[in-house]
Amino acid sequence: MADPNTLGAKHSMTGQPDTTHKRSNLLTRAKKFVASKTAGTSMGKRVINNMIGDESEEIVNTLTKIVEQVKSPKEAKASKEFLYKLATKLNVMVEEKRLTEENTAHAEIPFKNFGVQILKALEDSINMKEGKKSRQSAKSGSRPSVRGSLGGCTNVRTLRGNVERIRHIVENLLKPHLQPKNFEKM
């Protein structure tokens, strides 16, 4: 029997081209397209925020703040929109059973490491909001740096390495499911 993930899939009983697989691919692509387009709207963001929960929304906001401090507000806005689009596409792929526990198991540890560092950043951010600024930033009156917003104990190089590993894992997971032009945007 041919691999159902290939374009030339044959029906297991008749040996004829499997048109249901082609329809399934078209339907999945249409769902991902619609999800991507609605993710950028205010209603879409509200639905996504309800779907991912407060903690995940806080992580997206933290990542956006980091991009804003490192790059620019314009790039931060673009990265936030990209994260929402990616979240909706991933949700469609999970619902369509294209991403499963088996084919994503290798991503668990890097995502956990990254999540721990982001949670440390959130805790430090909350502590700073509550008035627990470091002495140096309180004296200078400056706003906290990226290193400060990531927590004094968080190693920025380690975080950058984790982000790079996650980027590589996500690329390998999604490459078979995205068209080349969409993959290049990522």
Say what the pLDDT of residue 100 is: 84
Say what the pLDDT of residue 74 is: 92
Q: Is the pLDDT of residue 40 over 80?
A: no
Report residue 128 as tokens.
């700073």
Which run of H or of E encompasses 9?
none
Least confident of 85-89, 157-161, 170-174: 157-161
Q: CB of 46 within 8 A of CB of 54?
A: no
Domain map (residue ranges) of the chain:
19-99, 106-186
| Max avg pLDDT among 68-82, 86-100, 161-175 | 68-82
For 62, what's the count of Cα atoms within 13 Å in the CB-facing half-sphere?
23
pLDDT digits (tens, 9 = 90+) for 84-125: 777 777 777 888 888 888 888 888 887 777 777 777 766 666
Q: What are phi and psi of 10, to 5 degrees?
A: -110, 150
Q: What is the mean pLDDT of residues 36-61?
A: 72
Of 125, 111, 116, 122, the C-alpha closest to 54 is 122
The 10 Å CB-count burial string (b at 16+, else e) for 139-165 is: eeeeeeeeebbbbeebeeeebeebeeb
Say what the pLDDT of residue 39 is: 67
The reported pTM is 0.53
**Alpha carbon distance 4, 172 (integer Å):** 19
141 DSSP assignment: -
